[in-house]
Structure 1
Amino acid sequence: MLGLSGAAGVAVAAAGALGTGPASAAERTWRVTGEDVAPLAHFDDVMKDYMQARGISAGSLAVARNGKLALARGYTWGDDSVATTGETDVFRIASLSKPIAATAAVRLAQEGRLDLDAPLADLVDLSPLPGGTADPRLGGVTVRRALQHLGGWDRDLSGDPLWSTIAISRDMGVDLPLGEEEVVSYVSGAALDHDPGTTYAYSNYGYLLVSRAIAGVVGTSFEDHVVSDVLGAVDIARMRAGRSLSRDQAGEVRYESRHTSTSAVDMSGAQVPYPYGGFNLEIQLGNGGWVASAADLARFCTVYDTPDEAGVLTPESIDTVFAAPETGSGATHYGLGWSVRPTSGGENTWHTGSMPGTYTFLARSNGYTVVALFNRRKEGDDLDWGVIDPNLWDAIGEVGAWPTEDLTPIYF
């Protein structure tokens, strides 16, 4: 199975060693929480080797087979000053949020409440700032195209507005933090980088617009709708919208980064640890702002693994999610919120996520689902962080006889 890059950060305003980093290797010991399932012991080896090589102090793993939760573990590599990671502790999941948004949109389409081919401009106010002119091609940006990253925005050409709020606030002459409406008004006055539907270009901003379209259709907040109609349908209660500042968090792991940045959530101009105010997480719920445990995400995948039991999406809707886009398809393509690779037995589907203090991986294939979450991401090292993908699939191959116990009732 292959992996694709998830949400990427932008260059920091300043960098330096932080006091919140992990202890030295000589001082660290391993602590593992969650039920020890002997036939699945190789997964512990994979997680420990991966974390130790990269200096990761907190990780979480969930493994499911045919919709049944087989393993849920929390991993801590640190001294006594590092809090123990529980198997249900929540992490920022970064771009693993995109399958959540896409599922919410497709469920509404299934109910006849949202047309995936409706122009986003008919569902969201895309009026530019006074004196600005909207690109006439915005009318060609549909919900489906935004979910497939075919909307026409290209962060490699014009930057990612969700990671540029400090610069946007200065340009607009308004105070931080920026709200979603201000970001949308600002971007609506800029030209698209590509004609809609012609070029795949990963776009967090497109997912922000989809989340606002969903909120407009249902008449409540995007968060409330997802919690009640998607997560609640499969008994997920821990998953919620993340917050930028540590004072507004509860039950989350400690995020680590060697970088600092100018605060993006106030006007103090202070230098803060990049994961704690260097970017505005509150405006990124549609594309990367949820927090969840690995077990929560494995449970979410029952929407696709056991659709009749989950009762969220029909098989026809699931086909819509994984269908090839109008352009950019091939051996691997991006469906609605998922990377997809067709196989002889169906398809492999996956997503990764990355933001300061977070690296995440989720994949489904042939009845198996694996989720791994970590409290730091690649920062200047030359290691292959994507190797967690094949290593976890190797662990699946090491299992002789899968356990019959379903751990789901323990956690849900």
Structure 2
Amino acid sequence: MPHLHRRAWLQGAAALALLPRPAPGAAQAAASAASVTGREQPALAVFDALMQRFIIEQQLPGAQLAITHERRLVHARGYGLAERVPARAVQPTDLFRIASISKPFTAVAVLQAVERGRIALDAPLLAQLPLPAPRDARWHRITVRQLLQHRAGWDRERSFDPMFAASRVMQALQLDGMPTARDIITFMLRQPLDFEPGERYAYSNFGYCLLGRLLEHLGGERYEVSVRRDVLSPLGIRRMRLGQTALEGRAPGEVRYYAERNPLGRPISGLTHDAVPLPYGAWSLEAMDSHGGWLASAVDLVRFAAAFDDPAHCPLLKPASIATMFARPDGAADSVPVHYACGWRVRRLAQPGQINTWHTGMLDGSSTLLVRRHDGLDWAVLFNGQYTPDGRPAAVKIDRLLHEAAGQVRQWPADDQFDACL
């Protein structure tokens, strides 16, 4: 663990002094949770103090935080534990399940295909992705844009989320093992939609599952291959990969996930009869590839986010496509400042033309947040725990605190750590 600058140490110590005295036997755990790895930036000590305090107060194993300022990586640190037994500190380049932050990556790949004339945003999906005949004729009216904007007709609050219904899919299709993404599509082709496509917004993981299969159909190759080549490689992102469900399938440098509120759950039917840790067998991560299956570091995520901070020089999309990516959907109320665009949530600010964009992610044992601000700041924060003691997702609870911490910074570092965090 690098030595902390005295000012950073004092700020962190002052924050820790406000915490309740650890219970007997908890002192060692608190000390481990307070560990920090990565290069220290004294000007950004406020973030170290916040992160150390937060994971201890909220009883979380560990976290990562990366920040860019004007497209330069100015902060990349790990906090607490990547794994409790044997104890291992989180490193700035460790991999985390990023859950639904996978969606912006899929959205960019789709918009690239639109630029190349291979996909039409407002043409019917089924005219571009051959599938068996659906039971509900409204499938024929679903467009690619509606899938990107969660307006295609599925509402998990009204019915269910098929991406987390593996046992139901296996029973219906009489499968012997975990259902694939294509198995889930086969199952959903037999189900009715929840509303008319384009009628309204309703968050849908399944819609992004379909987008992954559309990309595969276009390129004749696995979704992961095309995204790594077309989205990650141009940015120099080399270590991102799709994750695996089983603990023994953990990638090199991947953290361990802890779901402590409800640590055990019913396993996917047919795999085992014993209760399983929720992050490792209660659902299939492999089937979630294009909506929630990626592993990344916080550094990887801010490298991706910063690519859109200068649209004229973006290596991924043309300025018009970036504008489409963040545009307000047709039918979204103009008076509402927040909307879901193509793979991003967007908040319009008081100054005309200024927006903040972000995405959260959550799976059992992980909570994630990626933020792009109008003022040239981007950050990503990743946790290998999910909830805080009051039942809120960790990344959601820390969101406001990170904005407040950024407001306390008087001068941002001038160096760039990207090359050191490959």
* AA in 2 matched with 1:46: L
Residue from 86, 91, 94 that aligns with 1:89: 94
* AA in 2 matched with 1:84: A
Residue from 345, 356, 359 that aligns with 1:351: 359
- Report deviation, 1:380: 6.7
Residue matched to 1:252: 254
Query: After the TM superposition, which of the residue ranges 255-264 and 314-323 deviates more from structure 2?
Result: 255-264
Residue from 312, 315, 339 that aligns with 1:311: 315
Residue matched to 2:345: 339
Distance 2:229 2:365 in 1: 28
Q: Is the 8 A contact 2:169 2:183 kept in 1?
A: no
Q: Is the 8 A contact 1:117 1:144 kept in 2?
A: yes
Distance 2:25 2:311 in 1: 46
Distance 1:300 1:279 in 2: 28
Q: Is the 8 A contact 1:64 1:298 kept in 2?
A: yes
Residue matched to 2:19: none
Match runs of 1:15-164 below 5 Å: 25-28=26-29, 29=31, 30-76=34-80, 81-127=86-132, 134-164=135-165
1:209 and 2:210 are equivalent in the alignment: yes
Query: After the TM superposition, which of the residue ranges 357-366 and 116-125 deviates more from structure 2?
Result: 116-125
Q: Is the 8 A contact 1:64 1:368 kept in 2?
A: yes
Larger Rg: 2
Distance 1:52 1:293 in 2: 21
In the TM superposition, structure 1's runs of 4+ consecutive aligned residues that sit over 4 Å from their partners are 77-80
Residue from 385, 390, 410 that aligns with 1:381: 390
- Report deviation, 1:230: 0.4
Q: Is the 8 A contact 2:68 2:306 kept in 1?
A: no
Distance 2:92 2:388 in 1: 26
Tell me the SS of whatever aligns to 2:400: helix
Residue matched to 2:402: 392
RMSD: 1.8
1:277 and 2:281 are equivalent in the alignment: yes
Distance 1:373 1:204, change over 3 A: same
Tell me the SS of whatever aligns to 2:358: strand
Residue matched to 1:411: 421
1:370 and 2:361 are equivalent in the alignment: no
Distance 1:249 1:310 in 2: 33
Tell me the SS of whatever aligns to 1:144: helix
Structure 2, unmatched stretches of 5+, are 1-23
* AA in 1 matched with 2:344: W
Distance 1:89 1:361 in 2: 16
Higher RCO (CA-CA < 8 Å; seq separation 6+):
1
Distance 1:79 1:157 in 2: 39
Question: Any idea what the Cα deviations from partners look like across 1:147-201, whole Å, max 9, x if unmatched?
Answer: 1000100001110001001122122222121112211011011110000000111
Residue from 288, 291, 303 that aligns with 1:287: 291
Q: Is the 8 A contact 1:149 1:200 kept in 2?
A: yes
Task: Compute the TM-score of the two structures, normalised by the length of structure 1.
Answer: 0.90
Distance 2:204 2:223 in 1: 19
Query: After the TM superposition, which of the residue ranges 52-61 and 34-43 deviates more from structure 2?
Result: 52-61
Task: Compute the TM-score of the two structures, normalised by the length of structure 2.
Answer: 0.88
- Report deviation, 1:307: 3.7
Q: Is the 8 A contact 1:340 1:348 kept in 2?
A: yes
Distance 1:76 1:69, change over 3 A: same
Residue matched to 1:402: 412
Structure 1, unmatched stretches of 5+, are 1-22
Residues matched between the structures, number:
386
